[in-house]
Amino acid sequence: MKFPWMCCSLLAIALTQTISAQSKPEQTTTPSLLGYSSQAVSAQKDWEKKFQDGIVPDNIRENMRRLSARPHHVGSPYDKDNAEWILSKFKDWGFDARIETFNVLFPTPKERIAELLAPTKFRAKLQEPVLPSDPTSGQTAEQLPTYNAYSADGDVTAPLIYVNHGVREDYEQLDRLGISVTGAIVIARYGGGWRGIKPKVAAEHGAVGCLIYSDPNEDGFKQGETFPAGAWRPRDGVQRGSVADDPIYPGDPLTPGVGGA
């Protein structure tokens, strides 16, 4: 007696779904694009296609080669040369362009020393080697030294303590282990957080210095081929950057909160 009831039920469901499907009006699918109405999507995609068709990869390659031919950090001669070259291009393309000048705080060190005194003596070279495959690597007189901008000035000698990534969670673990960094120089590896957090948190825990290094496990041969064979950081490559408290005071320290440049 159950089988006829089941067949009728299945037939009713099938008929209901068929009628429901037939009663739905036909819908045309319009590609969506965030920020654009359905009417404007097609025109916008046409403009994007025209823009993409006008891009010449060889031009981009040559422009990047020209811009990066010499060290061009802020305030350097080639930085000015690049600005004037870009200005000339904008003017050639019909733009009303000009160069604005801003005075910003950009500290560079006069002396850098990092050495281990015991149990064996070791002094770091703090200099990247010249690579035959990269002609720009030999422009040492124009290059920035290996350092992080806005580091505190000082001369300290203290015990060295490894703090993993040097973020708050690492110091909490050290506290649980009964290890204090007060009066010590901490050594942290890049990663796990913004580099500027590392010396900031180290100072908050009483450290007198902070060394930061690139771990090849995260940025080196453990990830793949290193430069020049691949894209990863070579053995003696040094990361440069800023350790300013950017999450709170981004940009030029002389004009906090103001977009100077």
Do residue 167 and residue 233 come from a single domain? yes
Beta strands in 49-127 (DSSP E): 115-116, 122-123
Do residue 97 and residue 190 come from a single domain? no
Residue 13 lies in a domain: no
The per-residue pLDDT for range 128-168, each reduced to its tens digit, is: 999 998 989 999 999 999 999 999 899 999 999 999 999 99
Do residue 233 and residue 154 come from a single domain? yes
% the chain with pLDDT above 70: 87
Residue 219 lies in a domain: yes
Residue 21, Cβ neighbours under 10 Å: how many? 8
Do residue 231 and residue 112 come from a single domain? yes
Residue 245 lies in a domain: yes
Do residue 129 and residue 159 come from a single domain? yes
Do residue 161 and residue 234 come from a single domain? yes
Instruction: Please answer whether residues 159 and 208 qualify as being in contact, where contact means their C-beta atoms are separated by less than 8 angstroms.
Output: no
State which residues form the domain around 214: 107-135+145-250
pLDDT value, residue 121: 96
pLDDT value, residue 251: 80
Do residue 119 and residue 213 come from a single domain? yes
Q: Which of 239, 231, 227, 238 is nearest to 132 (CA)?
A: 227
Close Cβ partners of 185 (under 8 Å, ≥ 6 residues apart): 156, 158, 159, 160, 161, 207, 208, 209, 210, 211
Distance in angstroms (rounded) separating the CA atoms of residues 203 and 14: 72
Do residue 89 and residue 199 come from a single domain? no
Close Cβ partners of 212 (under 8 Å, ≥ 6 residues apart): 148, 166, 187, 188, 189, 190, 195, 198, 199, 239
Do residue 178 and residue 219 come from a single domain? yes
The amino acid at residue 64 is M
Count of H-run helices and E-run strands, the chain: 6, 7
Close Cβ partners of 76 (under 8 Å, ≥ 6 residues apart): 142
Residue 22 lies in a domain: no
Residue 183 lies in a domain: yes
Chain centroid offset of residue 58 CA = 25
pLDDT tens string, the chain, 261 residues long: the values are 333 333 333 333 333 344 344 444 445 555 688 889 988 999 999 999 999 999 999 999 999 999 999 999 999 999 999 999 999 999 999 999 999 888 888 999 999 999 999 999 999 999 999 999 898 999 999 999 999 999 989 999 999 999 999 999 999 999 999 999 999 999 999 999 999 999 999 999 999 999 999 999 999 999 999 999 999 999 999 999 999 888 787 888 888 777 665
Residue 256 lies in a domain: no
Residue 121 lies in a domain: yes
pLDDT value, residue 5: 38
Tell me how many domains the chain contains: 2
Do residue 240 and residue 155 come from a single domain? yes
Do residue 152 and residue 86 come from a single domain? no
Do residue 150 and residue 62 come from a single domain? no
The CATH number of the domain holding residue 242 is 3.50.30.30
Residue 37 lies in a domain: no
Dihedral sign (CA 65, 190, 158, 237): negative
